[in-house]
Each structure stands twice: as structure tokens, then as C-alpha cells.
Structure 1
Amino acid sequence: MGILSRCGGVLFVMKARAFVLVFALIITTTFGKICYANEKKNLPQISSKSAIAIEWVTRKILFEKNKDLKLPMASTTKIMTAILVLENCDVNKEIEIPPQAVGVPGSSMYLEKGEKLKIIDLLYGLMLSSGNDAAVALAIATAGDVIRFVNLMNKKAKELGLSNTVFSSPHGLEQGEHYTTAHDLAKLAAYAMRNPIFRQIVKTTEKEVPWTTRPYNRILKNKNKMLRLYPGAEGVKTGFTKKAGRCLVTSACRDDFRVICVVLNAPDMWNDTRKILDYCYSNFKVIKLLPGEIGYVKVKNGKSDWVKVGTTYQRYWVVDLNCLPKIEVLLQVAEAPIEKNKVVGGLNLYLKGEKWSFPIVALQECQRKSLWDRIKEKLFEKRMRQK
């Protein structure tokens, strides 16, 4: 289980062990083994034609196989559809199902003519039931027609730097050039998972939504078995066409370490994904520098004898499991007056032969003693000696 480890008051997220630094003027400490280069590990053997796993914040590649191979991606396309709808529509808006969305081939939430549903209900139908009909209804609701929506999809792909991705439909049924790479799809999923509504939808295993043309509701069940098979799994999307084969995008999070895994054209997609995630969690971890209080520094000629100090920076590193940082803390005696955020020292962190430096700043101000403050201090000292 991950532990919040304090370097003074600077928080580091580490695995299994906690360390505390006591501050002196200059402190250097090493946490365990320092790694300078990636060590060879036993890579998982998988059936996928292409695959990747990345850490979602740093986008560091933890595993890859043919990550830049262009392949069709079937219904994993709906990740882009969902995030575009979420960014452009009021999810509580009710729409009437257009005739173009009725009877769309492939997987379906079985929309019927004349139905009225909220966009949020259609998003659940899109991501849980993989409804191609929901994709068409949402595309029309967002952009006016499917062609304009596909143009939005390709525009968004460019904005996100998905240089090897082209969309031709909102659902993944190939209607022209329609392809991506495992790497592009992982970056898209990492972006989408930052949206809290998207995260809530894709982690839902079952959802009841209205069926307004019938006397009962729909029960939508998530096709993503990883939610039940893998501890820490959070979604994201399955996909299948004859051309694309089996495709799966998965987000998993353990001890605040979130991994995005993509497998494309994967005959054994569930086991491939499990093997890759197991590999990632067995060989890597995240270390986080979080903003916060470190401690106190002695102040000369201040109205207070001590001032609270800390760091205002946040930084993430993905490292090999047994590699922990060497940390050097340098603090200088502070003299009043001290303004808030004044630099009073520095923190150096060494990982894999690289050095990162962060300022340590005053988290509060401290005014200089006035003449009257000094007189009162002397009088108090004299009175104490007389007692």
C-alpha cells in the first residue's frame, strides 16, 4: 500500500516504506537504491499486434509493443466521442432521438423513434452497451450531423497531438480511413480520464436508464470485464470489428499509481491486459513531490523566532520499484523582515543520474523587531533575572 512519506513536510508518495528527514543546515540522505539506467526485466508475452502502457500524468511508457503501428480501433473510438460530447454539451439536456440513430448496425442500446433521453443517459449507453445508435444520436446532438461531428473528432485529435489518428465515424465502424496507434489511444484515454463525469461513467458496471417508449427501463451492463477481473481497474472501453480484431483500453489505479493500458488486435485481450498491468505494478511506482510545509527556520531579529517554510511545487516521477531518491536539503539562516514566498533554501533531488532543484520558501511573513520590541525584550529579561 502506498505511504505518504515526509521529507520534513515535503510529501513523497512511495511504496512500502516511510522516511522522515530532520532538518539541519545541510542534509543529504539516500532512500534505498539509486538507479542510473533502466534494468532489463522479463517482459510479458502477449497476443496483441500492438500494445502500450503509460503512467497517466507523466505519460512515461512502461511497456510497449509496436506502439506506433497504425491499426483500426473499433469501438474504442467512442472514447473520443464521449469526451467531445462532455466538453460541448449539457449532459442534463433532453433530446429526441433522430431517425438516423435508429437501427444502426452493430452493438446497440436499442434506441427507438420518438424516444426522448438525456445526453447523460445516452453516454452510459455509448460506453457501457457500446451503442452505435447512441454514438450517432450524440454526434447529431453535438454538431448537427455526423459528418460535422467527425470533423470535430479529427480536429480534437490534432489538438491533443494524436498525429497518427484519423476518424471516419463516431462509433468505430470503418467508413473510410479510420485508424490510430496504441500510443495515440493511450494519450487520448489519459486525457479523457481527467474528466470526472467520464471517469464515473466508465467505471460503472450497471446502469438503469429510461426507455421512454416502453413501460420499463433499460438495464445497461458494462462490457468491460476488467472491472470485475482486475483489482484497481476503472474502465475504459472495449472494441471489436472483424478488421480491427479485439481491442481494449483499460485504466487501473493502485496506491495512487494510475496506468493506462491499450491492446489492439488482441485475440486474448483480457489476459494480455492483465499481464501488462501486472508487469507495470511489479516493476514501477510513482514518487510525488507535493506542495506543503517542511518545518520552521530560525529567524534573526524577527518579531517571531521561527518562520514556517515549505515548497510550493508539485512533481511526479515514475521509477523502478527499488529505486528511491537521494535528497539534499539546504537551509540558510533567515533574517527579518521576511516576506511570504521568499526563498530561504533549496531542495535537490537526484534520480537516475539526473538532478531536480526546488526552492524552499517562507510560507508566512515575519516582521523585523522594532526599537520598542527590543526595549520590551530587554526589560523582560531584566525582570526575569531579578526573580
Structure 2
Amino acid sequence: MNSFTKRGRQCFAALLAAGLLWAFPSLAQGAEPGVSAECAVLISGETGTVLYEKNAYERHAMASTTKIMTALLALEESARAGDPVVDITEEMVAVEGSSMGLQAGNRLRLSELTAGMMLASGNDAANACALFLSGSQEGFGALMNERAGEIGMKDTHFVTPSGLDDEAHFSTAYDMALLTKTALENQDFEDIVKCFTRQVEFLDPAGTVSYTNHNKLLQLYEGCIGVKTGFTKKAGRCLVSAARREGATLIAVTLNAPDDWDDHTALLDYGFSMMQSVAFDGAQVTARVPLAGGSLDSVQVQGAAGEIRSLPAVDAERIERRVLLPKFLYAPVRAGDKVGQVQYFAGGKEIYSLPVVAAESVPAAEKKEPGFWQRLFHWDWA
């Protein structure tokens, strides 16, 4: 299903001409904010479009916001391996700085360890994740950098799983925003970082421990869904936040920001002031697709109904829609079968999609009994 049918292209053009893809301002656009941060960026969580930047591509220490990458790798492994149990060792807890209170002999699942790490900003938990997943900090650093390359973090190099200072450990505000955009696509990650308090279950000794998130924006800012605080003397106050309103997600990053809570409030307010409402609707997409072996020679198909989402105005104004349909289908086809897709792109990136489904059922053609001459020439004379 990688080509348009002629009918699909005609339908697509007609829909655009009819103005069924529309946008209107949802908020009055605000003035660009001033921030205290040395480095800052604000991006759309859907498209990655940069809405604000200040030294966003300048390399800088990022402190415990590093744990976003550690958590992402841990949760990806947890999903692959069935959430394995981690046995905490002396080596794992032999690390300075903030802690979730782990002790050698503790046992807990990898997802629970990750939750404690993100809420309590536990360096012990980050070290435990690294040693469990790779056997050494060096090995885990290699994993972090490999994943960073996949995400497109071009100005980042990880050394420590926790964010403790190291000359070779650095990132940029923009790269950290890209990392967070990817991490928030993992539902387990979002479920953890949006919690202000969470009970973490220990298997040994059996019980639960309650942790409170260091991210005050979860209570201070409407729609906040995370993400991570950080501080070292070298990095200063670092903060990555995300907020969602009317289906739109914004991600803000500040590095070395004395007034980070106010910075993020101003950045997110500015971003939401730039939103426009966009109608994603494939219901008007109709076509007939040729059908092989059916009681009819074609089948009626239709795009599914969509919804209204908010996007940055710059993205809303450049949306492209593509209708993907197969050249033909094989019978039988049942009403509701997915047969294609309506895709929406902004800046070359897919931001939304809807299925195209069969609008009717068409059974396979009935087999006819062979006639006299067909039987004669297919007679077995042996």
C-alpha cells in the first residue's frame, strides 16, 4: 500500500480545495519570553518544531536530567525482558549524591527501580540500572551513546548514568528535548514522570516505599506531565518539563537556570499561545478499489473520522495529507477491514494518521461447475 490510486489522488485534491483541513487560533499569541537560563529550548512534542531557543545547540553539563536516558533504556529493556528482578549489590549503591535509599540485598523489579530513580533522582538507582543492564558504567555509557545516535542527539556524549559531573559528559538543550520527545512516546515512561507521588514496590524486604517527585511543576503548572530536575555545581539548575493541553504536547529544557520554575512557566505559556486547532478527518475520503476474485469487481472504501488537535501555528499552516490505498484487493473483504491509511505530515514528519476501511462486505465469487467442453479437455485418459 505505497501508492495513490487515481481516484484517491482526485479525492485528496478535492478535500483540500473544499477546505476540510482547517485551522484557527485558539489563544492570543504572546510575546517571546525572557529566561534566566544560560541555554533553553521549547519544542512541539508532536513535530519537534523549535518554538523558542536560546543557546539551544551549545554543549553544557545536564546533571540529573541525564536520568531521562537511563530511564528510557531501563524501561525498553523491562518491556523486552518481562520486567526482570534486580538484585541490589554493594557496588550498585556505592555512589555519591542523591539516593532512593537502596541497600545491598534489596530486590525489586526493573520498572519499580526506574520509578524510584525518576521521582527521588536516585544516583544509586541509576547506577543499579547501569550495572544490571551492562555490567559496568562504561558499557552502559556505550549503550546511552548508541541510543543517542539513533535519536539524533548530535551534540551529546554520555559518561555517567546519573549525571554526575565529568568533562566528557555533556549535551545541549535541543538534544535533551529530542531525547524527551522520544521518551514520552514510551507510555511507561510518561506514567512514571507525571506522578507527583508514587508507591514503589520492593520484593525483598517485601513492602512499598512512597517517593515524592522533585518536579514542582507537576503541581504548579496546569497540564504538566513531567519530566526531570537536575543540579550539580558545574551544571547549575537544570530542568526538563513537558505539558499537554488540548492534545498538544510542549517540551521545555533549561540548562543552568537560576529561576527555572519561572522560566518553564513562561516558556510553556508562550508555546501554548502559539497553538492552532486543526481538524484531522478522513471521513470524506471515499474511493472504489479494484477487487480480485470477488462477487463485485471493486469495493467501496472510506477514511475514518478523526478529531481536533492543537498544533503550533507554523506546523498547522504547512500540513500535507496523503491517502495511501492499494492498487487492488483480494476477496473476500469484510466491512471495517483496514485497507489503507490517511497520513498527515508537517515539515516532512508524520504527525497523525487514520485508517481507511472497507465500507461494505464483498464475498468471494462463487465457483462455477465446469462445462461439457471444459470437462472433456481436462479428462484423465490414463
CA 1:210–1:275: 2 relative to 1, 3 Å? same
Closer/same/farther in 2, CA of residues 363 and 314 from structure 1, 3 Å limit? farther
Residue number in structure 1 paired with 2:377: none
Compared CA separation, residues 212 and 316, structure 1 to 2 (3 A): closer
Matches within 5 A, 1:226-241: 226-241=217-232
Q: Residues 244-263 of structure 1: CA distance to partner in whole angstroms, max 9, x if unpaired?
A: 01111111110000111111
Q: CA deviation at 1:92?
A: 2.9
Matched, 1:79 2:68: yes
Alignment partners' CA distance in 2, 1:229 and 1:69: 29
Between the aligned partners of 1:284 and 1:120, the Cα distance in structure 2 is: 35
Which residue does the alignment assign to 2:292? none
What pairs up with 1:263-342 in 2 under 5 angstroms?
263-285=254-276, 287=278, 289-290=280-281, 292-294=282-284, 307=300, 309-310=302-303, 318-320=311-313
Instruction: Name the CA distance, whole Å, in 2 between partners of 1:26 and 1:105.
Output: 59
Cα contact 1:34–1:325 (8 A) shared by 2: no
Q: 1:99-248 maps to which residues of 2 (within 5 A)?
A: 99-210=90-201, 217-248=208-239
Give the aligned residue type for 1:239.
G
Residue among 45, 48, 70 paired with 2:37: 48
CA distance in 2, matches of 1:228, 1:25: 43
TM-superposed CA distance for 1:326, in Å, is 11
Q: Does residue 64 of the first structure (1) align with residue 53 of the second (2)?
A: yes
| Conservation of the 8 A alpha-carbon contact between 1:81 and 1:153 | yes
**Paired residues of 1:30 and 1:327 also in contact (CA < 8 A):** no
Gapped regions of structure 1 (runs ≥ 5): 1-23, 329-338, 341-346, 353-357, 368-387
Report the equivalent of 2:328: none
What amino acid does structure 2 have at the position aligned with 1:293?
A
CA RMSD, 1 decimal:
4.5
- CA shift at 1:109, angstroms? 0.5
> Whole-Å Cα distance in 2 between the matches of residues 255 and 33 of structure 1?
14
CA contact (8 A) 1:257 1:285 kept: no
1:149-205 per-residue CA deviation (whole Å, 9 max, x = no partner) reads 111111111121111001110000023411100110000000010011111111111
Retained in 2: the 8 A contact 1:52–1:186?
Answer: yes
| C-alpha separation in 2, matches of 1:56 and 1:128 | 22
Change (3 A) 1:317 1:325: farther
| Structure 2 unmatched ranges of 5 or more | 1-13, 289-294, 322-331, 334-341, 348-352, 363-382
Shift of 1:214: 6.2
- 2:120 aligns to what SS in structure 1? coil
More helix by share: 2
- How does the TM-score come out when normalised to structure 2? 0.71
Displacement, 1:114? 1.4
- Cα distance between partner residues in 1 of 2:275 and 2:192: 28
CA gap of 1:284–1:102, structure 2 versus 1, over 3 A, is same
Q: Does the C-alpha gap of structure 1 residues 362 and 154 become closer, same or farther in structure 2, counting only changes over 3 Å?
A: closer
Q: In the alignment, which residue of structure 2 is the partner of 1:332?
A: none
Contact (CA 8 Å) 1:93, 1:118: kept in 2 or not?
A: yes
Q: Aligned partners of 1:266, 1:105: CA distance in 2, in Å?
A: 23
* CA distance in structure 2 between the aligned counterparts of 1:289 and 1:324, rounded to whole angstroms: 13
Q: Note closer, same or farther for the CA distance 1:79–1:91 as it changes in structure 2 (3 Å cut).
A: farther
- Say whether the 8 Å CA contact 1:60–1:318 is kept in structure 2: no
Q: 1:231 to 1:25 in 2, by over 3 A?
A: closer
Structure 2 SS opposite 1:293: coil
Alignment partner of 1:128: what SS? helix
Task: State how far apart, in whole Å, the 1-side matches of 2:187 and 2:244 are.
Answer: 15
**Count of residues paired in the alignment:** 322
TM-score (norm 1): 0.70
C-alpha displacement of 1:289: 3.0
Paired residue type of 2:34: Q
Q: Residue type matched to 1:269 in 2?
A: D
CA contact (8 A) 1:59 1:187 kept: yes
Question: Given residue 51 of structure 1, which amino acid in structure 2 is its aligned partner?
Answer: A
